[in-house]
Structure 1
Amino acid sequence: MSVKMSIISKMILFLTTISVLVTSCAEKNTVVSSSAQNNPWKKMDLVVKSIPETKFSNKIYNINDFGAIADGKTLNTMAFQKAIKECAANGGGQVFVPNGKYLTGAIHLESNVNLHLDDNAEILFSLSPKDYPIVHTSWEGTEVMNYSPLIYAKNKTNIAVTGKGTLNGQADSTNWWIWSGGKNYGWKKGIPSQNDPNNREVLVDMAEKGIPVSERVFGDGRYLRPNFIEFFECNTALIKDVKIINSPFWILHPIKTNNMIIDGVTVNSHGPNNDGCDPEYSQNILIKNCTFNTGDDCIAIKAGRDGDGRRVAIPSKNIIVQNCKMIDGHGGVVIGSEISAGVNNVFVENCVMDSPNLDRAIRIKTNSKRGGVIEDIFVRNLEVGTVKECVLKLNMFYNVYGSQTGNFIPTIRNVSLENVNVKNGGKYSVWAEGYKESPVENITLTNVKIQKVDSLYLLKNVKNIKFIDSYVNNKKVESVK
């Protein structure tokens, strides 16, 4: 009897010990989870660690072996296509572009392929629209069948564009840019453009009416310029080290793409709508160590336009920007205006923004036609030299294409800036405008120092804006309830 009791006692002690250990582990996990929730930057670290890296076979497929000629004149579209197909068919690897100038039409990537440019390699993209076949793409936040992006991948996994060579779209005011209808880009009355009655607005109208994407066929005669690099519905992707110049339209466009790293890329393109990077309906996107010198927003986080955005209904989230340099552009890091599906969990840190031709540092732009919920935007450790208009602009009344009002009142909330140093902030430190029924709310500026700015702020329908240890024109700023 005493032996049985001894065994039972030992079992009880063992089970009690296991229970304590399990409870202890659960408590630790709870603490970690709670810590990540309470500290957004720890949450950012977890997202960064979760993004898988691309991995490729060490097989190399030199495009010269597939008939490519580096004279800058011979069209090498078929050579690129053959090398990529061969590489993919054999389990993947590197499609290698050696030094020299290679003219080509659209390049379509396959899974497990890394398009790698040698240091002095330059890919010149054709200026003939016929070299860009009609594919399922997107234009200003509306899905469409249109000219293929210059480099395109759809439904692919484990893909990359790498190397220190140059991708040259060759766009200027004598070709693609003139289609914008902008007088600064060569357009004159009588020249066809995207603004003609059957072009841009027809596409938007088709989307509002719910016409299937397969029936929104544009291309020839519609003058909607192609994006430069577009990864559409892809997973595990990398763009690293390349230099990109003279783009027809948006430059880096991950759409419905998850787990992508953009690292060490230099963008220098001053054409119309030349956004540097436009993640759209995408998640877990890391943009780091890049330089953006652009004709439009340096980085513009998107989530679809109007009815099309609400149809797709995929918010962009977990977008991380680290150690980047922004020079010319409408904004350094911008959210919108194609924003209808919403954006959340954006992290920006350790960036330098400086140019008399940079309008704003951080900007959110939407309106009651776009709608969208934009929340949880975290910014820290910025060095801002000069911006034209303001350091932080949050605008629910963005209007650029005529009437932009509707029944979709947007939400902007939970925006934080900390450790930001600004030499010349332009007109306002903060410009924020909301609706009475939907004020811009919960804006926090901590240790923000703006040496020079014309006016402290412009606030309309703003709720709970805090200035903590922040100074503008050498005066400490008080919070506004």
Structure 2
Amino acid sequence: MGSSRREFLKVSGLAAGGLLLPGAALADGAADPWDAVPGILARVVPPSFPARDFPVTSYGGKGDGKADNTAAFRDAIAACARAGGGRVVVPAGIFLSGAIHLTSNVNLHIQSGGIISFATDPRKFLPVVRTRWQGIECMNYSPFIYAYEATNVALTGAGRIDGQAGNGPWFDFDPKRQPDWEKLQKLAVEGVPVERRVFGGGHFLKPNMIQFYRCRNVLVEGLDIRNPAMWTIHPVLCRNVTVRGVTVYSRGGMVDGVDPEASSDVHVTGCTFDTGDDGVAIKSGRDVDGRRVGVPSANIVVEQCAFLGRWGAIAVGSEMSGGVRNVFAQDITIRPGPDYKTFHAVYIKTNKRLGGTVDGVHVRRLVADKIDRGAVFITMNYSLTGPGFGPIAYPSVRNVTLDRLTVRGTPWAVRLDGLAESHIQDVRVSNSTFTEVTDAGISIKNADRTVFHTVHVNGKPVL
């Protein structure tokens, strides 16, 4: 490897506590972390609903793309809930609406040819609701579709949800948001109660597209979801969540695909993500506020998904202050979109203010073509945002296994970037091949017990 090899040996030797064992296998008798997956999936049971339909058109809904259907959705959802649950049905047509709030035992079902198209006037997403903005609790604009403390709730169908936020007023918020973002961070550090962290009208923190907050038994299935203002599907403090067979198209900044946050028993399967930011990003709150809430994301399975978008395909963080454990991703395909390439196939990102522990991220059978920045990147030096609010709280990242990765075309294969005060621990890469790699060197900084087993870069074994 030349100079790259010498640098590799330096940072992976005694000073960094690294361990490189070509041909090493799991210790005899060591538990396979993947043995936990059947138990997780057995607990993830999508909700079912009574066979009752409540067409939104029966409550004044008009699919002409012009009429405001906010009241029609509200009335249909209320009638469905009063009857004990069922489906609120959106037939073919374009149904313009402001914020839609779901309640327990309601499945909002969009039939083929049906489109819910959201208003571009921010006032249609008031009054404010309890939410999280980049991992900090606050009162802000309602997400476009929102459920709070609901049980048995779903979005299903073969239709479309269009946030209409690919440009226009919501994206005009971006250059104006920094003072509000700094204020929110400061309020959290000062311990101001959430009810007094009020934003919304007159402020510039964009809402997420679909948010389930403190919900149980959640299903999002089959839909074409497009043009969010911010994160697309965002379960917060939820349990038993299924996202399957959806297509997400989101471009611009801060437009992740699925962001399970402080949620457990989550299954994301059979989805396609063409995103301007991370595809699937596991989160658990930010900095002081994330540690105050203190609920980890745990027991999350992502499988049989395709990624065409920007930034990380399988990502953890950066908002992970409440902790993340037992994340599994398998049978993943990454390919370039028509004008985007994924930056990182696996991207774990944190910093010295976030704190929290990432314990157990496992990826296998991932195939990637043309990665833009680097295939596997685990960093504890992700950007520190804001003007220095909050104390230093060193994070922990440990127990990461990466098996049967096949990556063609990437600037580099693997980089581990820990802190001197908090080393990355126990990363194992096995049975993996990286080809057409610009820089064949492996970079390991401040990482302990790193193992490479049957890994090749540009046809040469990692030694």
Same fold (TM over 0.5): yes
> Which blocks of at least 5 consecutive residues in structure 1 are unaligned?
1-34, 182-192
Query: 1 CA distance for matches of 2:167 and 2:86?
Result: 38
1:285 is the counterpart of 2:266: yes
Question: Which runs of no fewer than 5 residues in structure 2 stay unpaired?
Answer: 1-27
Q: Counterpart in 1 of 2:380?
A: 396
Whole-angstrom CA distance in 2 between matches of 1:239 and 1:261: 6
The answer to whether structure 1 residue 91 and structure 2 residue 84 are counterparts is yes
How much has 1:402 moved relative to structure 2? 5.6
Q: 1:36–1:42: 8 Å Cα contact kept in structure 2?
A: no
Displacement after TM superposition at 1:458 (Å): 1.8
Q: Which amino acid aligns with 1:237?
A: V
Q: Distance in 1 between matches of 2:153 and 2:386?
A: 40
Give the AA of the match of 1:319. Answer: I
2:438 alignment partner in structure 1: 454
Structure 2: distance between partners of 1:389 and 1:284: 31
Alignment pair present for 1:159 and 2:143 = no
Q: Are 2:131 and 1:137 equivalent residues in the alignment?
A: yes
Counterpart contact for 1:362–1:391, Cα < 8 Å:
yes
Shift of 1:225: 0.5
Task: Name the residue aligned to 1:413.
Answer: 398
| 1:204 corresponding residue in structure 2 | 185
Relative contact order, higher structure (CA 8 A, sep 6+)? 2
How far apart, CA to CA, are the structure 1 residues paired with 2:386 and 2:129?
29
Corresponding position of 1:126: 119
Provide, for residues 180-238 of structure 1, a one-character-per-residue CA deviation record: whole Å limited to 9, x for no partner: 12xxxxxxxxxxx112x3x1110110011110000011111111111000000000010
- Structure 2 length-normalised TM: 0.91
Answering whether residue 151 of structure 2 is matched by residue 179 of structure 1, we say no
The amino acid that maps onto 1:420 is L
AA in 1 matched with 2:217: T
Contact 2:107–2:153 (8 Å) recurs in 1 = yes
Q: Give 2:335's aligned amino acid.
A: D
Q: 1:464 aligns with which of 430, 449, 452?
A: 449
Q: Which has the higher helix share?
A: 1
Shift of 1:406: 4.5
Q: Percent identity?
A: 38
* Residues in 2 aligned to 1:129 and 1:79: alpha-carbon distance in whole angstroms: 19
Point out the more displaced range, 265-274 or 406-415. 406-415
* 1:432 corresponds to which of 416, 422, 426: 416
Deviation at 1:173, TM superposition (A): 2.8
Q: RMSD over aligned Cα, in angstroms?
A: 1.5
Please give the secondary structure, in 2, of the residue aligned with 1:247.
coil
| 3-state SS, counterpart of residue 448 of structure 1 | strand
Is residue 344–residue 373 contact of structure 2 (8 Å, CA) maintained in 1?
yes
* SS of residue in 1 equivalent to 2:450: strand
Match status 1:194 vs 2:177: yes
Which residue of structure 2 lines up, in the alignment, with residue 47 of structure 1? 40
Q: How many residues align?
A: 430
Mapped contact 1:246–1:271 kept (Cα < 8 A):
no
Q: Distance in 1 between matches of 2:387 and 2:361?
A: 28
Larger displacement relative to structure 2 (348-357 or 263-272)? 348-357
2:356 equivalent to 1:372:
yes
Find out whether 1:317 has 2:311 as its counterpart.
no
User: 2:408: which partner in 1?
Assistant: 423
Superposed displacement of residue 357, structure 1: 1.9
SS of 1:88's equivalent? helix
SS of 1:218's equivalent in the other structure is coil
SS class of match (2:195): helix
Query: Counterparts of 1:33-44 in structure 2 under 5 Å?
Result: 38-44=31-37
Q: Residues of 2 paired with 1:422 and 1:333: CA distance?
A: 14
Pairing of 1:69-108 with structure 2 (within 5 A): 69-108=62-101
Aligned counterpart, 1:5: none
Offset from partner CA, 1:18-69 (integer Å, 9 cap, x none)? xxxxxxxxxxxxxxxxx99812222011100111220100000001010001
